[in-house]
Structure 1
């Protein structure tokens, strides 16, 4: 066992390196030139990176959990679970947990030098704060300033703007892990379905969002919430607090996978 809590392993050339299992940030106390970590959703890192040069906790699991819980609640409503369709219950978590807390986590991640993680968490914190403000009855009179059909169309514009933003973030995850990239893909599909559902309200006789598209958005949102919790758990679990580590699965074309294939080929060559 290494002094910092990581298990040391040897590659084909006999070089020793720390193996942090599913959580490469586990017990890292200092930054050294010899430690380069692979992309990891539990830290919202999309490429090879060094641990921060100062001691600071990983804020990403907190941000992911805020996003996951708020998305789960709203997705239950979009799916029509127990025939509940009024989204007022989302206002509280949207303003506090998914909004303010996630925004703080993003700011802390920027302090760690993680531009992608800080941008994503802070932005989605702003998204949930916006949702909370829009849905607050009476206080901001946003919905009351439109006809019902026009409000749904305008809300569709808001969702489509976030769909574009999420698609751009998803492009940045294509060299990371399956678990992390799938999260942004399902969030993108959620915004796509819900935005189309609300824009379709002007085409319906009852001026209501398209039910099928709303249900599809709820389904993708539910998957996204569980993927966010999965990545959160990957960021929390390590050998000091768990009997198991969950896999994050690096893409075959990622830097991590290429390094693994190279090490395996060198080991086979030396074994011949």
Structure 2
């Protein structure tokens, strides 16, 4: 019985781009630059949601538990967030209370903080993505709890940083693989 090397592609760039691009678009809204609209909701369903779930399943196939849990969870986060926004508009559910959204963001922030602890064994780019996401969830929770649009706008700008850092990490992986060398550094840990 022969074992062949894994020839499947790295699914992380797909998951990071789905997360990053959707995060950037939503946080342009949070920063006050435009209204919540169908473009953001569509990205939340398809690229932030479904594409990340696909990436998580591909990470499972590669045996990467961290990637499986992260991408599948955040893909389902985006689908849940869109449902929280759309179901009440369709008359299918009552709108979520402020306290409910605060709890939603706190729980996702705690989950992300646990994953951030796992990134400490990974490259710096991944640490930046998860660390800035912990901060984003905290700001969103505080902004909702206080009903303070200024904090939500600050969260929007911080969310732009988070999303752009994920896009950078994704494109760095793609370009580094294509060129077979470090084109965009990820801040890799030194090999022991």
TM-score (norm 1): 0.64
Taking the aligned partners of 1:183 and 1:114, their CA distance within structure 2 comes to: 18
Structure whose alpha-carbon radius of gyration is higher: 1
Which among 108, 111, 115 is matched to residue 58 of structure 2? 108
Which among 17, 22, 39 is matched to residue 65 of structure 1? 17
Which among 105, 108, 113 is matched to residue 167 of structure 1? 113
Distance change in 2, residues 1:99/1:190 (3 Å): same
Q: Please, which runs of 5 or more residues in structure 2 have no aligned partner? A: none
Is the 1:74–1:87 Cα contact (8 Å) retained in structure 2? no
Taking the aligned partners of 1:199 and 1:104, their CA distance within structure 2 comes to: 33
Taking the aligned partners of 1:86 and 1:111, their CA distance within structure 2 comes to: 36
Taking the aligned partners of 1:172 and 1:239, their CA distance within structure 2 comes to: 24
Taking the aligned partners of 2:40 and 2:128, their CA distance within structure 1 comes to: 24
RMSD across aligned positions (CA): 2.1
Equivalent pairs counted in the alignment come to: 188
Find out whether 1:228 has 2:138 as its counterpart: no
Taking the aligned partners of 2:152 and 2:177, their CA distance within structure 1 comes to: 41
TM-score (norm 2): 0.89
Taking the aligned partners of 1:191 and 1:119, their CA distance within structure 2 comes to: 18
Is the 2:176–2:184 Cα contact (8 Å) retained in structure 1? no
Q: Please, which runs of 5 or more residues in structure 1 have no aligned partner? A: 1-29, 32-52, 201-208, 260-272
Structure with greater proportional helix content:
2
